[in-house]
Chains A and B, each alone.
Chain A
Protein backbone atom coordinates (compact mmCIF):
# COMPACT_ATOMS: atom_id res chain seq x y z
CA UNK A 1 0.00 0.00 0.00
CA UNK A 2 1.31 3.43 -0.97
CA UNK A 3 1.10 6.09 1.71
CA UNK A 4 2.38 9.57 2.35
CA UNK A 5 4.10 10.50 5.60
CA UNK A 6 4.41 14.18 6.29
CA UNK A 7 6.54 15.50 9.08
CA UNK A 8 6.47 19.10 10.28
CA UNK A 9 8.45 20.42 13.22
CA UNK A 10 11.14 22.80 14.45
CA UNK A 11 14.36 22.04 12.60
CA UNK A 12 16.93 20.05 14.56
CA UNK A 13 19.37 17.24 13.97
CA UNK A 14 18.17 13.69 13.58
CA UNK A 15 14.57 14.15 12.38
CA UNK A 16 15.04 12.15 9.20
CA UNK A 17 17.05 9.58 11.14
CA UNK A 18 14.36 9.02 13.76
CA UNK A 19 11.57 8.72 11.19
CA UNK A 20 13.47 6.44 8.83
CA UNK A 21 14.69 4.26 11.70
CA UNK A 22 11.08 3.43 12.62
CA UNK A 23 10.22 2.84 8.96
CA UNK A 24 13.22 0.54 8.56
CA UNK A 25 12.25 -1.45 11.64
CA UNK A 26 8.70 -1.81 10.31
CA UNK A 27 9.89 -2.98 6.89
CA UNK A 28 8.48 0.12 5.16
CA UNK A 29 10.25 1.15 1.97
CA UNK A 30 10.83 4.86 1.29
CA UNK A 31 10.18 5.47 -2.42
CA UNK A 32 10.57 9.20 -2.55
CA UNK A 33 11.46 11.93 -0.12
CA UNK A 34 11.24 15.69 -0.33
CA UNK A 35 12.06 18.27 2.32
CA UNK A 36 12.32 21.97 2.84
CA UNK A 37 12.38 24.60 5.57
CA UNK A 38 9.13 26.58 5.54
CA UNK A 39 9.06 29.65 7.84
CA UNK A 40 11.65 28.05 10.10
CA UNK A 41 9.87 24.71 10.21
CA UNK A 42 11.34 21.54 8.86
CA UNK A 43 8.78 20.08 6.46
CA UNK A 44 9.24 16.65 4.95
CA UNK A 45 7.03 14.55 2.71
CA UNK A 46 7.80 10.88 2.15
CA UNK A 47 6.15 8.52 -0.29
CA UNK A 48 6.38 5.05 1.20
CA UNK A 49 5.24 1.58 0.41
CA UNK A 50 3.85 -0.35 3.36
CA UNK A 51 4.04 -4.14 3.37
CA UNK A 52 0.71 -6.01 3.20
CA UNK A 53 0.99 -7.35 6.74
CA UNK A 54 1.09 -3.91 8.39
CA UNK A 55 -1.97 -1.68 8.63
CA UNK A 56 -1.90 2.11 8.49
CA UNK A 57 -3.05 2.18 12.11
CA UNK A 58 -0.16 -0.03 13.24
CA UNK A 59 2.40 2.11 11.45
CA UNK A 60 0.79 5.26 12.84
CA UNK A 61 1.12 3.82 16.34
CA UNK A 62 4.79 3.06 15.72
CA UNK A 63 5.37 6.63 14.59
CA UNK A 64 3.33 8.22 17.37
CA UNK A 65 6.23 8.55 19.92
CA UNK A 66 7.69 11.15 17.53
CA UNK A 67 4.67 13.39 18.10
CA UNK A 68 5.92 13.79 21.65
CA UNK A 69 9.19 15.19 20.30
CA UNK A 70 7.41 18.30 18.98
CA UNK A 71 6.98 16.81 15.52
CA UNK A 72 3.63 16.69 13.78
CA UNK A 73 3.45 13.45 11.82
CA UNK A 74 0.64 12.56 9.43
CA UNK A 75 0.24 9.26 7.67
CA UNK A 76 -2.34 8.92 4.94
CA UNK A 77 -3.02 6.71 1.94
CA UNK A 78 -1.35 8.31 -1.11
CA UNK A 79 -4.54 8.08 -3.17
CA UNK A 80 -6.00 11.01 -1.20
CA UNK A 81 -3.48 13.48 -2.60
CA UNK A 82 -3.76 12.28 -6.18
CA UNK A 83 -7.52 12.36 -6.10
CA UNK A 84 -7.76 15.75 -4.43
CA UNK A 85 -5.60 17.55 -6.94
CA UNK A 86 -5.99 15.70 -10.24
CA UNK A 87 -8.80 14.36 -12.38
Chain B
Protein backbone atom coordinates (compact mmCIF):
# COMPACT_ATOMS: atom_id res chain seq x y z
CA UNK B 1 0.00 0.00 0.00
CA UNK B 2 1.36 3.38 -0.95
CA UNK B 3 1.06 5.99 1.75
CA UNK B 4 0.93 9.68 0.89
CA UNK B 5 3.58 10.75 3.41
CA UNK B 6 5.97 8.00 2.26
CA UNK B 7 5.69 9.19 -1.32
CA UNK B 8 6.34 12.81 -0.43
CA UNK B 9 9.28 11.85 1.80
CA UNK B 10 10.87 9.70 -0.91
CA UNK B 11 10.40 12.41 -3.53
CA UNK B 12 12.01 14.94 -1.22
CA UNK B 13 14.93 12.55 -0.68
CA UNK B 14 15.40 12.25 -4.42
CA UNK B 15 14.73 15.83 -5.45
CA UNK B 16 16.08 18.00 -2.65
CA UNK B 17 18.49 15.77 -0.76
CA UNK B 18 20.28 14.26 -3.73
CA UNK B 19 19.66 10.61 -2.88
CA UNK B 20 21.07 8.54 -5.67
CA UNK B 21 22.42 5.16 -6.54
CA UNK B 22 26.06 6.02 -6.89
CA UNK B 23 27.02 3.00 -8.93
CA UNK B 24 25.92 -0.28 -10.41
CA UNK B 25 29.09 -2.28 -10.77
CA UNK B 26 29.20 -5.58 -12.58
CA UNK B 27 31.95 -7.84 -11.29
CA UNK B 28 33.27 -10.19 -13.98
CA UNK B 29 35.64 -13.09 -13.47
CA UNK B 30 38.44 -13.11 -16.01
CA UNK B 31 40.11 -16.23 -14.65
CA UNK B 32 39.12 -18.12 -17.81
CA UNK B 33 40.47 -15.35 -20.04
CA UNK B 34 44.14 -15.43 -19.07
CA UNK B 35 46.05 -17.41 -21.66
CA UNK B 36 49.70 -17.89 -22.64
CA UNK B 37 49.72 -14.98 -25.03
CA UNK B 38 48.75 -11.48 -23.97
CA UNK B 39 47.13 -10.79 -27.34
CA UNK B 40 44.76 -13.73 -27.06
CA UNK B 41 43.99 -12.78 -23.41
CA UNK B 42 43.06 -9.31 -24.66
CA UNK B 43 40.58 -10.76 -27.15
CA UNK B 44 39.06 -13.05 -24.52
CA UNK B 45 38.79 -10.24 -21.95
CA UNK B 46 37.21 -7.84 -24.40
CA UNK B 47 34.67 -10.33 -25.68
CA UNK B 48 33.69 -11.53 -22.20
CA UNK B 49 33.22 -7.97 -20.92
CA UNK B 50 31.12 -7.09 -23.97
CA UNK B 51 29.06 -10.28 -23.67
CA UNK B 52 28.21 -9.82 -19.98
CA UNK B 53 28.18 -6.04 -19.63
CA UNK B 54 27.30 -4.95 -23.16
CA UNK B 55 23.86 -3.79 -22.04
CA UNK B 56 24.80 -2.69 -18.49
CA UNK B 57 24.48 1.02 -19.27
CA UNK B 58 21.20 0.53 -21.15
CA UNK B 59 19.70 -1.53 -18.30
CA UNK B 60 20.89 1.03 -15.75
CA UNK B 61 19.29 3.86 -17.67
CA UNK B 62 16.00 1.97 -18.05
CA UNK B 63 15.80 1.33 -14.30
CA UNK B 64 16.67 4.95 -13.63
CA UNK B 65 13.82 6.03 -15.84
CA UNK B 66 11.21 3.67 -14.41
CA UNK B 67 11.89 4.32 -10.74
CA UNK B 68 12.98 7.93 -11.04
CA UNK B 69 16.10 7.16 -9.01
CA UNK B 70 19.30 8.57 -10.52
CA UNK B 71 22.00 5.97 -11.13
CA UNK B 72 25.12 8.07 -11.48
CA UNK B 73 27.71 5.53 -12.60
CA UNK B 74 27.72 2.21 -14.36
CA UNK B 75 30.98 0.35 -13.90
CA UNK B 76 32.79 -2.95 -14.30
CA UNK B 77 35.19 -4.68 -11.94
CA UNK B 78 37.30 -7.63 -13.02
CA UNK B 79 39.53 -10.30 -11.47
CA UNK B 80 42.93 -8.96 -10.38
CA UNK B 81 44.83 -8.61 -13.65
CA UNK B 82 48.16 -9.51 -12.03
CA UNK B 83 46.89 -13.11 -11.97
CA UNK B 84 47.44 -13.29 -15.73
CA UNK B 85 50.99 -14.29 -14.80
CA UNK B 86 53.02 -12.51 -17.48
CA UNK B 87 56.72 -11.83 -17.27
CA UNK B 88 56.89 -8.34 -18.76
CA UNK B 89 55.23 -5.01 -18.09
CA UNK B 90 54.49 -4.58 -21.80
CA UNK B 91 52.28 -7.68 -21.81
CA UNK B 92 50.27 -6.29 -18.87
CA UNK B 93 50.02 -2.96 -20.64
CA UNK B 94 48.23 -4.68 -23.53
CA UNK B 95 45.67 -6.01 -21.04
CA UNK B 96 45.16 -2.52 -19.60
CA UNK B 97 44.39 -1.22 -23.07
CA UNK B 98 41.97 -4.08 -23.73
CA UNK B 99 40.15 -3.20 -20.50
CA UNK B 100 40.02 0.44 -21.53
CA UNK B 101 38.53 -0.52 -24.91
CA UNK B 102 35.94 -2.71 -23.19
CA UNK B 103 35.03 0.14 -20.84
CA UNK B 104 34.68 2.57 -23.69
CA UNK B 105 32.59 0.24 -25.85
CA UNK B 106 30.26 -0.82 -23.02
CA UNK B 107 29.92 2.87 -22.07
CA UNK B 108 30.92 2.40 -18.43
CA UNK B 109 32.90 5.26 -16.91
CA UNK B 110 35.44 3.11 -15.06
CA UNK B 111 36.72 -0.45 -15.09
CA UNK B 112 38.48 -1.59 -11.92
CA UNK B 113 40.65 -4.59 -11.25
CA UNK B 114 44.03 -3.66 -12.66
CA UNK B 115 45.04 -5.00 -9.30
CA UNK B 116 47.35 -7.21 -7.30
CA UNK B 117 47.36 -8.86 -3.87
CA UNK B 118 50.78 -8.39 -2.36
CA UNK B 119 50.05 -8.71 1.35
CA UNK B 120 52.26 -11.73 1.89
CA UNK B 121 54.79 -11.54 -0.91
CA UNK B 122 55.49 -10.49 -4.47
CA UNK B 123 55.85 -12.93 -7.36
CA UNK B 124 57.99 -12.27 -10.44
CA UNK B 125 54.91 -11.65 -12.56
CA UNK B 126 53.51 -9.31 -9.92
CA UNK B 127 56.74 -7.31 -10.11
CA UNK B 128 56.24 -6.96 -13.86
CA UNK B 129 52.61 -6.02 -13.25
CA UNK B 130 53.49 -3.30 -10.72
CA UNK B 131 56.06 -1.88 -13.12
CA UNK B 132 53.32 -1.50 -15.72
CA UNK B 133 50.91 0.50 -13.52
CA UNK B 134 52.23 4.07 -14.09
CA UNK B 135 52.16 3.74 -17.86
CA UNK B 136 48.86 1.84 -17.80
CA UNK B 137 47.16 4.65 -15.88
CA UNK B 138 48.75 7.32 -18.05
CA UNK B 139 47.81 5.68 -21.34
CA UNK B 140 44.24 4.63 -20.51
CA UNK B 141 41.24 6.74 -19.58
CA UNK B 142 38.96 4.46 -17.61
CA UNK B 143 41.17 1.80 -16.02
CA UNK B 144 41.46 1.86 -12.21
CA UNK B 145 44.13 0.08 -10.26
CA UNK B 146 44.54 -1.14 -6.70
CA UNK B 147 47.04 -3.08 -4.65
CA UNK B 148 46.55 -4.83 -1.33
CA UNK B 149 49.59 -4.62 0.95
CA UNK B 150 48.37 -6.05 4.23
CA UNK B 151 45.72 -8.16 5.93
CA UNK B 152 44.90 -8.83 9.55
CA UNK B 153 45.61 -12.53 8.89
CA UNK B 154 48.90 -12.11 7.03
CA UNK B 155 50.42 -8.92 8.43
CA UNK B 156 51.88 -6.07 6.42
CA UNK B 157 54.28 -6.43 3.51
CA UNK B 158 56.76 -3.60 3.93
CA UNK B 159 58.53 -4.52 0.66
CA UNK B 160 55.26 -3.98 -1.19
CA UNK B 161 54.69 -0.72 0.64
CA UNK B 162 58.12 0.51 -0.38
CA UNK B 163 57.27 -0.32 -3.99
CA UNK B 164 53.96 1.52 -3.70
CA UNK B 165 55.60 4.79 -2.65
CA UNK B 166 57.73 4.70 -5.78
CA UNK B 167 54.77 3.62 -7.94
CA UNK B 168 52.64 6.56 -6.76
CA UNK B 169 55.48 8.98 -7.51
CA UNK B 170 55.89 7.43 -10.98
CA UNK B 171 52.15 7.70 -11.70
CA UNK B 172 52.24 11.35 -10.61
CA UNK B 173 55.14 12.00 -12.98
CA UNK B 174 53.63 10.09 -15.92
CA UNK B 175 50.42 12.16 -15.63
CA UNK B 176 52.16 15.45 -14.67
CA UNK B 177 50.53 17.38 -17.53
CA UNK B 178 47.10 16.73 -15.97
CA UNK B 179 47.83 17.56 -12.31
CA UNK B 180 49.05 13.99 -11.69
CA UNK B 181 45.48 12.77 -12.16
CA UNK B 182 46.63 9.18 -12.66
CA UNK B 183 47.01 8.94 -8.87
CA UNK B 184 43.24 9.44 -8.53
CA UNK B 185 42.84 6.06 -10.25
CA UNK B 186 45.17 4.17 -7.92
CA UNK B 187 44.53 3.00 -4.38
CA UNK B 188 46.61 1.02 -1.91
CA UNK B 189 44.60 -1.14 0.48
CA UNK B 190 44.94 -3.13 3.66
CA UNK B 191 42.22 -5.76 4.15
CA UNK B 192 40.84 -5.05 0.67
CA UNK B 193 37.32 -6.37 0.11
CA UNK B 194 36.54 -8.50 -2.91
CA UNK B 195 33.10 -7.11 -3.69
CA UNK B 196 33.53 -3.35 -3.37
CA UNK B 197 31.58 -1.56 -6.12
CA UNK B 198 33.29 1.83 -5.63
CA UNK B 199 36.25 3.08 -7.63
CA UNK B 200 39.17 3.30 -7.74
CA UNK B 201 39.38 0.21 -5.52
CA UNK B 202 36.83 -2.14 -7.10
CA UNK B 203 37.99 -5.57 -8.23
CA UNK B 204 36.25 -8.93 -8.62
CA UNK B 205 37.89 -11.10 -5.97
CA UNK B 206 38.99 -14.65 -6.63
CA UNK B 207 36.36 -15.94 -4.21
CA UNK B 208 33.62 -14.44 -6.36
CA UNK B 209 31.62 -16.32 -8.97
CA UNK B 210 31.43 -15.88 -12.72
CA UNK B 211 29.75 -12.48 -12.45
CA UNK B 212 27.72 -10.44 -9.97
CA UNK B 213 25.97 -7.12 -9.82
CA UNK B 214 26.94 -4.93 -6.88
CA UNK B 215 25.27 -1.70 -5.99
CA UNK B 216 26.77 1.30 -4.22
CA UNK B 217 24.26 3.62 -2.64
CA UNK B 218 25.09 7.07 -1.40
CA UNK B 219 23.12 9.84 0.27
CA UNK B 220 25.07 12.25 2.49
CA UNK B 221 22.47 14.94 1.68
CA UNK B 222 19.61 12.77 2.94
CA UNK B 223 21.38 12.01 6.22
CA UNK B 224 22.29 15.69 6.64
CA UNK B 225 18.69 16.71 6.18
CA UNK B 226 17.48 14.17 8.78
CA UNK B 227 19.97 15.47 11.36
CA UNK B 228 19.53 19.12 10.55
CA UNK B 229 15.94 18.93 11.76
CA UNK B 230 17.08 17.72 15.20
CA UNK B 231 18.75 20.83 16.61
CA UNK B 232 19.51 20.40 20.31
CA UNK B 233 18.36 16.74 20.43
CA UNK B 234 20.43 14.24 22.45
CA UNK B 235 22.99 12.22 20.51
CA UNK B 236 20.93 9.01 20.78
CA UNK B 237 18.25 10.64 18.67
CA UNK B 238 20.84 11.63 16.09
CA UNK B 239 22.05 8.01 15.85
CA UNK B 240 18.48 6.80 15.51
CA UNK B 241 17.70 9.32 12.75
CA UNK B 242 20.84 8.30 10.82
CA UNK B 243 19.93 4.63 11.19
CA UNK B 244 16.38 5.12 9.98
CA UNK B 245 17.49 7.19 7.01
CA UNK B 246 20.21 4.70 6.09
CA UNK B 247 17.56 2.01 6.15
CA UNK B 248 15.44 3.81 3.57
CA UNK B 249 18.40 4.58 1.34
CA UNK B 250 19.49 0.95 1.45
CA UNK B 251 16.02 -0.29 0.56
CA UNK B 252 16.05 1.84 -2.58
CA UNK B 253 19.46 0.40 -3.46
CA UNK B 254 18.33 -3.16 -2.82
CA UNK B 255 15.38 -2.68 -5.16
CA UNK B 256 17.57 -1.29 -7.92
CA UNK B 257 20.19 -4.01 -7.39
CA UNK B 258 17.68 -6.85 -7.60
CA UNK B 259 16.07 -5.36 -10.65
CA UNK B 260 19.42 -4.84 -12.39
CA UNK B 261 20.55 -8.39 -11.55
CA UNK B 262 17.31 -9.83 -12.96
CA UNK B 263 17.53 -7.87 -16.18
CA UNK B 264 21.23 -8.57 -16.70
CA UNK B 265 20.74 -12.24 -15.83
CA UNK B 266 23.57 -12.13 -13.33
CA UNK B 267 23.28 -12.83 -9.57
CA UNK B 268 22.91 -9.90 -7.19
CA UNK B 269 26.13 -9.58 -5.21
CA UNK B 270 26.12 -7.04 -2.43
CA UNK B 271 24.82 -3.67 -1.54
CA UNK B 272 27.43 -1.22 -0.34
CA UNK B 273 25.91 1.58 1.66
CA UNK B 274 28.64 4.16 1.73
CA UNK B 275 28.07 7.83 2.20
CA UNK B 276 30.10 8.89 -0.80
CA UNK B 277 30.28 12.66 -1.11
CA UNK B 278 30.58 14.55 -4.39
CA UNK B 279 31.81 18.10 -5.00
CA UNK B 280 28.18 19.25 -5.30
CA UNK B 281 27.11 21.49 -2.44
CA UNK B 282 24.83 19.54 -0.10
CA UNK B 283 26.44 16.19 -0.86
CA UNK B 284 29.05 16.29 1.88
CA UNK B 285 30.05 14.11 4.84
CA UNK B 286 31.73 17.16 6.43
CA UNK B 287 28.33 18.88 6.45
CA UNK B 288 26.91 15.95 8.45
CA UNK B 289 29.72 16.16 10.99
CA UNK B 290 29.06 19.88 11.31
CA UNK B 291 25.29 19.30 11.63
CA UNK B 292 26.05 16.96 14.54
CA UNK B 293 27.58 19.97 16.29
CA UNK B 294 31.22 20.29 15.30
CA UNK B 295 31.91 23.90 14.30
CA UNK B 296 34.27 22.88 11.50
CA UNK B 297 35.28 19.37 10.48
CA UNK B 298 38.61 18.59 12.08
CA UNK B 299 37.84 20.25 15.41
CA UNK B 300 37.95 18.09 18.53
CA UNK B 301 34.97 15.73 18.52
CA UNK B 302 35.18 15.08 14.78
CA UNK B 303 36.40 11.50 15.20
CA UNK B 304 33.56 10.69 17.59
CA UNK B 305 30.99 12.24 15.29
CA UNK B 306 32.33 10.28 12.32
CA UNK B 307 32.42 7.06 14.36
CA UNK B 308 28.77 7.31 15.37
CA UNK B 309 27.83 8.21 11.80
CA UNK B 310 29.63 5.20 10.30
CA UNK B 311 28.17 2.85 12.89
CA UNK B 312 24.60 4.08 12.56
CA UNK B 313 24.80 3.88 8.77
CA UNK B 314 25.93 0.25 8.99
CA UNK B 315 23.17 -0.63 11.46
CA UNK B 316 20.46 0.88 9.26
CA UNK B 317 21.87 -0.78 6.18
CA UNK B 318 22.22 -4.26 7.67
CA UNK B 319 18.54 -4.35 8.59
CA UNK B 320 17.48 -3.25 5.12
CA UNK B 321 19.40 -5.61 2.86
CA UNK B 322 20.16 -9.30 3.03
CA UNK B 323 23.61 -8.80 1.51
CA UNK B 324 25.34 -5.71 2.79
CA UNK B 325 29.00 -5.80 1.86
CA UNK B 326 31.76 -3.84 0.23
CA UNK B 327 32.95 -1.01 2.40
CA UNK B 328 29.63 0.30 3.85
CA UNK B 329 30.13 3.32 6.08
CA UNK B 330 31.26 6.84 5.29
CA UNK B 331 33.92 7.95 2.84
CA UNK B 332 35.99 11.00 3.65
CA UNK B 333 37.64 11.92 0.35
CA UNK B 334 39.18 15.33 0.58
CA UNK B 335 38.91 16.81 -2.91
CA UNK B 336 35.53 15.20 -3.60
CA UNK B 337 33.86 16.75 -0.55
CA UNK B 338 33.54 20.53 -0.62
CA UNK B 339 33.07 20.67 3.17
CA UNK B 340 36.26 18.69 3.80
CA UNK B 341 38.28 20.82 1.38
CA UNK B 342 36.91 23.98 3.05
CA UNK B 343 37.87 22.65 6.47
CA UNK B 344 41.46 22.16 5.29
CA UNK B 345 41.57 25.66 3.81
CA UNK B 346 40.21 27.09 7.07
CA UNK B 347 43.01 25.37 9.00
CA UNK B 348 40.53 23.19 10.94
CA UNK B 349 41.43 19.89 9.33
CA UNK B 350 45.00 18.62 9.17
CA UNK B 351 46.60 15.52 7.74
CA UNK B 352 47.04 14.04 11.22
CA UNK B 353 43.38 14.53 12.08
CA UNK B 354 42.42 12.93 8.78
CA UNK B 355 44.52 9.92 9.74
CA UNK B 356 42.73 9.67 13.08
CA UNK B 357 39.38 9.86 11.30
CA UNK B 358 40.32 6.93 9.06
CA UNK B 359 40.35 4.65 12.10
CA UNK B 360 36.56 5.02 12.26
CA UNK B 361 35.50 5.79 8.67
CA UNK B 362 34.88 3.06 6.12
CA UNK B 363 38.04 3.44 4.08
CA UNK B 364 40.98 5.74 4.57
CA UNK B 365 43.14 8.63 3.42
CA UNK B 366 41.31 9.40 0.23
CA UNK B 367 41.92 11.90 -2.56
CA UNK B 368 44.44 13.92 -0.60
CA UNK B 369 46.69 16.16 -2.66
CA UNK B 370 50.18 16.52 -1.14
CA UNK B 371 53.27 18.46 -2.26
CA UNK B 372 54.81 17.17 -5.48
CA UNK B 373 58.26 16.92 -3.92
CA UNK B 374 57.09 14.48 -1.22
CA UNK B 375 59.57 11.58 -1.22
CA UNK B 376 58.58 8.05 -2.17
CA UNK B 377 59.64 6.91 1.32
CA UNK B 378 57.33 9.41 3.01
CA UNK B 379 54.41 8.19 0.87
CA UNK B 380 55.32 4.62 1.79
CA UNK B 381 55.42 5.56 5.47
CA UNK B 382 51.93 7.09 5.20
CA UNK B 383 50.74 3.84 3.61
CA UNK B 384 52.39 1.86 6.42
CA UNK B 385 50.60 3.96 9.06
CA UNK B 386 47.27 3.55 7.32
CA UNK B 387 47.74 -0.20 6.73
CA UNK B 388 48.55 -0.59 10.43
CA UNK B 389 45.28 1.08 11.42
CA UNK B 390 43.45 -1.39 9.18
CA UNK B 391 45.35 -4.51 10.14
CA UNK B 392 45.27 -3.89 13.88
CA UNK B 393 41.61 -2.85 13.94
CA UNK B 394 40.40 -5.55 11.56
CA UNK B 395 39.02 -3.09 9.05
CA UNK B 396 39.64 -2.00 5.48
CA UNK B 397 41.88 1.00 5.10
CA UNK B 398 43.20 2.62 1.96
CA UNK B 399 45.45 5.36 0.72
CA UNK B 400 44.77 7.42 -2.40
CA UNK B 401 47.32 10.23 -2.33
CA UNK B 402 48.16 12.58 -5.15
CA UNK B 403 51.67 14.07 -4.91
CA UNK B 404 50.80 16.74 -7.49
CA UNK B 405 53.78 17.33 -9.75
CA UNK B 406 55.16 20.85 -9.36
CA UNK B 407 52.71 21.88 -6.62
CA UNK B 408 53.67 23.08 -3.16
CA UNK B 409 52.01 23.61 0.18
CA UNK B 410 49.68 26.62 0.04
CA UNK B 411 48.65 25.96 -3.57
CA UNK B 412 45.58 24.06 -4.67
CA UNK B 413 44.72 21.63 -7.43
CA UNK B 414 41.63 21.14 -9.55
CA UNK B 415 40.88 17.69 -10.96
CA UNK B 416 37.42 18.53 -12.26
CA UNK B 417 34.18 16.57 -12.38
CA UNK B 418 33.45 14.20 -9.52
CA UNK B 419 37.09 14.38 -8.42
CA UNK B 420 36.73 18.03 -7.35
CA UNK B 421 39.48 20.32 -6.14
CA UNK B 422 41.55 20.60 -2.99
CA UNK B 423 44.31 22.52 -1.27
CA UNK B 424 47.73 20.84 -1.09
CA UNK B 425 47.94 19.37 2.40
CA UNK B 426 51.28 19.79 4.20
CA UNK B 427 53.04 16.71 5.58
CA UNK B 428 55.66 16.22 8.28
CA UNK B 429 59.00 17.63 7.24
CA UNK B 430 60.83 14.79 8.99
CA UNK B 431 61.82 11.65 7.12
CA UNK B 432 60.93 7.96 7.49
CA UNK B 433 63.29 6.35 5.00
CA UNK B 434 65.23 4.43 7.67
CA UNK B 435 62.06 2.56 8.54
CA UNK B 436 60.80 1.96 4.99
CA UNK B 437 64.16 0.85 3.62
CA UNK B 438 64.37 -1.98 6.16
CA UNK B 439 61.91 -3.95 4.01
CA UNK B 440 60.51 -7.31 5.10
CA UNK B 441 57.13 -8.08 6.64
CA UNK B 442 55.41 -6.83 9.77
CA UNK B 443 53.98 -10.00 11.39
CA UNK B 444 50.23 -10.47 11.73
CA UNK B 445 48.85 -9.03 14.96
CA UNK B 446 48.16 -11.30 17.91
CA UNK B 447 44.41 -11.21 17.46
CA UNK B 448 44.75 -12.82 14.03
CA UNK B 449 45.34 -16.19 15.73
CA UNK B 450 41.76 -17.17 16.13
CA UNK B 451 41.92 -20.73 14.85
Contact = CB atoms under 8 A, between A and B. Distances in A.
Interface in A55-87: 56-57, 60, 72, 74-85, 87
Contacts of B3: 81, 85
Nearest to A79: B255
Interface stretch (B66-74, B309-317, B422-430): B66-74
Contact of A85 (B6, B11, B69, B319): B6
Nearest to B68: A76
Contacts of A4: 2, 7
Interface in B51-81: 65-69
A34 B8 CA distance: 11
Chain B binding surface, main DSSP class: helix
A76 B67 contact: yes
B248 A84 contact: yes
Interface in B1-43: 1-4, 6-11, 15
B154 interface: no
B10 A80 contact: yes
Given A57-B65, A76-B67, A83-B254, A6 B8 contact: yes
Nearest to B7: A45
B255 to A, nearest CB: 4
A43 interface: yes
A6 B66 contact: no
A53 interface: no
A64 B7 CA distance: 20
Contact of A80 (B4, B8, B65, B68): B68
Most chain B beta carbons < 10 A, residue from A38, A45, A83, A84: A84
A56 to B, nearest CB: 5
A73 to B, nearest CB: 11
Contact of B6 (A36, A79, A81): A81
B353 interface: no
A75 B69 CA distance: 11
Contacts of A76: 66-69
A80 B255 contact: yes
A56 B2 contact: no
A25 interface: no
B65 A74 contact: no
Interface string B238-253: 0000000000100110
A35 B251 CA distance: 26
A32 interface: yes
Interface of B: 1-4, 6-11, 15, 65-69, 248, 251-252, 254-255, 319-320
Given A32-B2, A57-B65, A84-B248, 6 more contacts: A36-B4, A45-B4, A77-B67, A81-B10, A82-B1, A84-B6
